[in-house]
């Protein structure tokens, strides 16, 4: 048994798709969430910058004595290999759990990946998928605008502009005949209902945040690191800039008002 919190981070609101899964799958766990709202988006930045941000995010979470850190960010998970190695505690990214789920879901071996520029250009999902079967084909599409849509709460089913943008990003994947799409950025599960409608019921969507949390659950079980049964998990949120919309959009995404639990904390630029 280990009653320390799980550290979770992302550039902004995307990682809340993982928080949503933790609330459901690991209700006894305490969470420290860090959203780097000062520096979102990460996905259009260079490898060097993403490495630096990831290292600082991990250092920030380490002050809370976390038992495990989850990079609930496809961009960090794909690009920041060195930062991941520096973490003192078990460190989980979203790429390999998502790929495992996609490899199980696909029937025709054609897998689409929607992600940020940095994620798609890194080829991380593609490399990981090839480990399952060299015959699997991946088709990546950079979808940076979807990050802004989520950060601005343009996620409603009836938002025709959001729908048109999604259609445009999906078109090359659907024309290749993919039967599975990895939502390779944790912001994208927040748009899953529209993506599913536009992709069609025959396409399986993989929620990276949820798959990573399933992996975390398995690690905690195997290593006997779960929180005490009966403990009701608490979440503390830290953001690096006082954005007014964080609490408002988080309420839409999580269905609960988190404003009492959010603290503004500037991120150290030292490292």
Token couple for 187:
């912001």
Question: Is residue 122 classed as helix, strand or coil in its secondary structure?
Answer: helix
Does position 74 interact with ligand DGL (CB under 6 A)? The reply is yes
Question: Is residue 125 classed as helix, strand or coil in its secondary structure?
Answer: helix
Among positions 5, 8, 9, 14, the unique one binding ligand DGL when judged by CB under 6 A: 14
- Are the C-beta atoms of residues 37 and 240 closer than 8 Å to each other? yes
Least gap, CB of 174 to ligand DGL (angstroms): 22
Q: What is the 3-state secondary structure (H, E, C) of 228-252?
A: CCCCCCCEEEEECCCCCHHHHHHHH
Among positions 37, 56, 106, 119, the unique one binding ligand DGL when judged by CB under 6 A: 119
Does position 93 interact with ligand DGL (CB under 6 A)? The reply is no
Smallest Cα–Cα separation from 18: which of 246, 252, 185?
185
Least gap, CB of 13 to ligand DGL (angstroms): 8
Does position 10 interact with ligand DGL (CB under 6 A)? The reply is yes
Q: Identify which of residues 75 and 240 has a Cβ nearer to ligand DGL in the complex.
A: 75
Does position 125 interact with ligand DGL (CB under 6 A)? The reply is no
Q: Identify which of residues 45 and 67 has a Cβ nearer to ligand DGL in the complex.
A: 45
Does position 40 interact with ligand DGL (CB under 6 A)? The reply is yes
**Is there a catalytic annotation at residue 247?**
no
- Are the C-beta atoms of residues 228 and 28 closer than 8 Å to each other? yes
Which residue in 66, 142, 143, 185 is the catalytic one?
185
Number of residues that bind ligand DGL (CB under 6 A): 16
Least gap, CB of 81 to ligand DGL (angstroms): 15
- Residues 18 and 54: their CA atoms lie apart, in Å, by 17
Q: Determine if residue 224 is left, alpha or beta; phi over 0 gives left, psi from -120 to 50 gives alpha, anything else beta.
A: left
Q: Which stretch binds ligand DGL (CB under 6 A): 20-28, 41-49, 126-134, 243-251?
A: 41-49
- Are the C-beta atoms of residues 205 and 183 closer than 8 Å to each other? yes
Does position 147 interact with ligand DGL (CB under 6 A)? The reply is yes
Residues with Cβ < 8 Å from 110, sequence gap 6 or more?
A: 136, 137, 139, 176, 177, 178, 179, 180
Does position 185 interact with ligand DGL (CB under 6 A)? The reply is yes
**Is there a catalytic annotation at residue 73?**
yes
Dihedral (Cα; 82, 31, 97, 152), 10-degree rounding: -90
Q: How far lies 153's CA from each of 31, 147, 238, 239, 247, in Å?
A: 24, 10, 19, 17, 11
Least gap, CB of 19 to ligand DGL (angstroms): 12
Least gap, CB of 213 to ligand DGL (angstroms): 14
Does position 97 interact with ligand DGL (CB under 6 A)? The reply is no
Contact positions toward ligand DGL, by CB under 6 A? 10-11, 14, 40-43, 73-75, 116, 119, 147, 185-187
Residues marked active site are found at 73, 185
């Amino acid at each position: 048994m280990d009653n320390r919190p799980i550290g979770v981070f992302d550039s902004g609101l995307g990682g809340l798709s993982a928080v949503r899964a933790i609330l459901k799958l690991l209700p006894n766990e305490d969470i420290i969430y860090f959203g780097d709202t000062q520096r979102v988006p990460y996905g259009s930045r260079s490898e060097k910058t993403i490495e630096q941000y990831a290292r600082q995010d991990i250092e920030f979470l380490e002050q809370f004595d976390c038992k495990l850190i989850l990079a609930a960010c496809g961009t960090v998970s794909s690009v920041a290999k060195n930062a991941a190695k520096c973490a003192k505690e078990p460190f989980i990214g979203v790429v390999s759990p998502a790929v495992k789920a996609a490899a199980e879901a696909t029937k025709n071996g054609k897998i689409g990946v929607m992600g940020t520029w940095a994620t798609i250009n890194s080829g991380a999902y593609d490399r990981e998928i090839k480990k399952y079967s060299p015959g699997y084909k991946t088709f990546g599409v950079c979808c940076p605008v979807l990050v802004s849509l989520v950060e601005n709460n343009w996620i409603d089913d009836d938002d025709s502009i959001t729908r048109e943008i999604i259609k445009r990003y999906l078109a090359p994947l659907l024309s290749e005949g993919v039967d599975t799409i990895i939502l390779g950025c944790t912001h994208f599960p927040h748009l899953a209902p529209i993506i599913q409608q536009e992709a069609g019921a025959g396409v399986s969507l993989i929620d990276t945040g949820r798959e990573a949390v399933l992996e975390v659950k398995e690690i905690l079980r195997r290593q006997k690191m779960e929180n005490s049964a009966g403990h009701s998990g608490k979440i503390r949120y830290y953001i690096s800039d006082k954005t007014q919309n964080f609490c408002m959009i988080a309420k839409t995404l999580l269905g609960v008002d988190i404003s009492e639990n959010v603290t503004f904390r500037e991120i150290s630029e030292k490292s």
